[in-house]
Structure 1
Amino acid sequence: MFIMASINRIDLHQVDLNLLVVFQALMQEGSVTRAGYKLSLSQSAVSAALGRLRKLFDDPLFERSRSGMTPTPKALSLSLSIGPSLSTIAAVILDDVEFEPWQSSRTFHLAMSDDIEMLFGPWVARQKLDHNWSVNFAIHQTNSHLWRTTLDDPLIDVVLTTTPAHMAADFRAEPMFSGDYRCVHNPRLLNLSNPLTTREYIETRHLRVSFDLQRGWVDEVLAAMGHQRNTLCTISHFSGIGPILLDLPVIATIPEHVAVRAGEMYGLRVSPVPLQMPRFTISALWRTEVDGLIENQWIRQLCNTFVQVHGL
């Protein structure tokens, strides 16, 4: 009785549920033209559907900008419910439906720090090229301090970052890989032992990488030993390491996966850190509400494949 009363109040007879499909396509594509192409509809048909959606929800929903159709706050709020609902309906009707990257023009938005991006970016671009996928990928910057703010944006599908110590029920996490830290330096500018000695590590100047340009865990480890890191300068992104180490006699202490990559790209020597350093774990994070979406499941599986291919 309660269910029927709720349906009567909504009066679904006056609502074309196909409009919600158009709404979701506009959210994903940010363009009337691309949404029409995705749905095999003409541009005029999508525009007409958008007009009906605006009337239905009493809101502009999408406004024109330089980057395309920008969703209003109302549209962003609606998408949190409409997307999962459409996927649930599709799963019930189609059963065992699978996401087909060759058939979709969807853009996946992933967020990560640039040390992971240095590996993931080239790899995922190569996958798209080799497999002739129609999907697109957009990589955003984030880190372990900003992951929550990043995932609050409905546009973001998955965040790859250090596993948070605490997570609310609104979010899910899947550990991807664990790793250690390594030292990198230019052997043409620094004549150091291989592996480095503790004395060399303490006495040599360092390049510090810190997103907020503040002290990091290396500083804390050395301070506990009664030493202060001999820092030449601090940068906020891992991508700046190679150019600096090519020209300056400094050491950088960075995650092993990016140390190996930087060593290959710039001819740097990679060496174990001669101190007891903590390990880290990188996880995939996403919002609980999109857990059952077939496209979100697909991109998470793609992230798992990336880890396996790179032996992380």
Structure 2
Amino acid sequence: MLNVSKTNLNLFVVLHSVLTEGSVTRAGKKLGLSQTAVSNALARLRSELDDPLVVRRGRGIAPTPRAEALLPVIHRALDALDSALARPAPFDPASSVRAFTLALTDDQEIADLPRIFRAFQRELPLSSLRVETTERMVATDGLTRGTIDVALGPTMVRGPGLKQRPLFIERGVLVVRRGHPIIKRRAALSVLAEQCFIDVRVVGDEGVGRRLAERRLREVGFTPKIACSVPHFFAAAVLASEGDAIAAIPRRFAERMTKLLPLAIVESPLSAMELPMALFWHERTDADPAHRYMRDLITTALGEPAPRVSKRARPGTRARPAGRGGPRVSRP
């Protein structure tokens, strides 16, 4: 039996030209080969297939039944290869029906996904967007395996084949329930040392953000009293809104949560942590036009200011924009 992996597939290109041209000489001219080179290629393929392939008939040649059976198969294979190697058509976002997969943490689903999805529906109306959790992406190595197209994460993340584009600086804040006793006191480290905290472990103990937070705490000489550990920022916000424990969460997420939950943002020495965030993808999709468009769309969407919704604003009225300054305790 012929072993394709050990066969020079160019021989089938020669056979295809001979059969379609009906002449060794014309096949040679089409391929830029001498008549001798074409004859030698046919001789090698005859030996491989144990079949004459073509025989003389008058002044021309005639294919054998084996060659006649091979011709349509070779033709389809060459057509498929030509199509695969052809320059792809320009990406048309308005007509594309591709599916894209984005990995986010739960706070990013609240703070960032609405802007991304609005832009997605506007620019890619026929495409679909699937959102996976960062935990699942890390557990399955989704970017490398191809199950995740893009993800948001700290710029310090590294991995084989990963590429990134800087997006924004994430800043951490503390949130407490409205009416919490700490609001009336200066949130110094000595005061915070008396409080209980809710710990968030998005990807366990190995998360980049967690390691950075632990380093920041060591720098200021503070060890929080952990009352509860949860895997999601939303759970931490809910727990903080219904008890006396304090949660450390991203500011952009916190600003949204103060509109939905009875929470207040407390500025403190622990609020100074900054985490540079980036858009990540794998090098396998780096040159793909559709993925490049998607990455540009996300970058642009997250560069736009998030709409501010005032809980006190009534339908038909305009909410006043928040001031740049303000008290040390932020309320909606």
TM-score band, normalised by shorter chain: 0.5 to 0.7
Question: Does the C-alpha gap of structure 1 residues 302 and 211 become closer, same or farther in structure 2, counting only changes over 3 Å?
Answer: same
1:302 corresponding residue in structure 2: 297
1:99 corresponding residue in structure 2: 92
1:279 corresponding residue in structure 2: 274
1:119 corresponding residue in structure 2: 111
Instruction: Quote the Cα distance in structure 1 between the aligned partners of 2:246 and 2:11.
Output: 67
Is the Cα–Cα contact under 8 Å of residues 112 and 302 in structure 2 kept in the other structure?
A: no
Instruction: Quote the Cα distance in structure 2 between the aligned partners of 1:252 and 1:120.
Output: 20
Partner amino acid, structure 2, of 1:286: W
Question: Does the C-alpha gap of structure 1 residues 152 and 129 become closer, same or farther in structure 2, counting only changes over 3 Å?
Answer: closer
Instruction: Quote the Cα distance in structure 1 between the aligned partners of 2:297 and 2:231.
Output: 28
Deviation string, structure 1 residues 265-291 (Cα, Å, up to 9, x no partner): 213211333147442111111111211
Partner amino acid, structure 1, of 2:164: A
Is the Cα–Cα contact under 8 Å of residues 185 and 252 in structure 1 kept in the other structure?
A: yes
Deviation string, structure 1 residues 62-105 (Cα, Å, up to 9, x no partner): xxxxxxxxxxxxxxxxxxxxxxx67x711xxx5xx2431x3122
Determine whether 1:198 maps to 2:196. Answer: no
1:177 corresponding residue in structure 2: 168
2:10 corresponding residue in structure 1: 8
Secondary structure in 2 aligned to 1:152? Answer: helix
2:48 corresponding residue in structure 1: none
Question: Does the C-alpha gap of structure 1 residues 120 and 221 become closer, same or farther in structure 2, counting only changes over 3 Å?
Answer: closer
Question: Which of the numbers 262, 265, 269 marks the counterpart of 1:267?
Answer: 262
How big is the shift at 1:144? Answer: 11
**Aligned positions, number:** 237
Deviation string, structure 1 residues 109-128 (Cα, Å, up to 9, x no partner): 01122221212333333345
Structure 1, gaps ≥5 residues long: 22-84
1:31 corresponding residue in structure 2: none
2:126 corresponding residue in structure 1: 134
Is the Cα–Cα contact under 8 Å of residues 109 and 157 in structure 1 kept in the other structure?
A: yes
Is the Cα–Cα contact under 8 Å of residues 181 and 273 in structure 1 kept in the other structure?
A: no
Determine whether 1:110 maps to 2:110. Answer: no
Is the Cα–Cα contact under 8 Å of residues 206 and 229 in structure 1 kept in the other structure?
A: yes
Partner amino acid, structure 1, of 2:187: L
Question: Which of the numbers 239, 245, 248 marks the counterpart of 1:250?
Answer: 245
Instruction: Quote the Cα distance in structure 1 between the aligned partners of 2:214 and 2:288.
Output: 43
Structure 2, gaps ≥5 residues long: 1-6, 14-73, 307-332
Determine whether 1:149 maps to 2:141. Answer: yes
Determine whether 1:229 maps to 2:291. Answer: no
State, as a whole percentage, how many aligned pairs show the same letter. Answer: 19
Partner amino acid, structure 2, of 1:14: R
How big is the shift at 1:165? Answer: 4.8
Question: Does the C-alpha gap of structure 1 residues 242 and 184 become closer, same or farther in structure 2, counting only changes over 3 Å?
Answer: same
Deviation string, structure 1 residues 238-283 (Cα, Å, up to 9, x no partner): 1212321221111111222222222222132113331474421111
Question: Does the C-alpha gap of structure 1 residues 7 and 112 become closer, same or farther in structure 2, counting only changes over 3 Å?
Answer: farther
Instruction: Give me the TM-score of the superposition, normalised by structure 2.
Output: 0.61
Larger Rg: 2
- Map residues 153-164 of structure 1 onto 2, 5 A cutoff: 153-164=145-156
Is the Cα–Cα contact under 8 Å of residues 177 and 282 in structure 1 kept in the other structure?
A: yes
How big is the shift at 1:202? Answer: 2.0
1:45 corresponding residue in structure 2: none
Secondary structure in 2 aligned to 1:249? Answer: coil
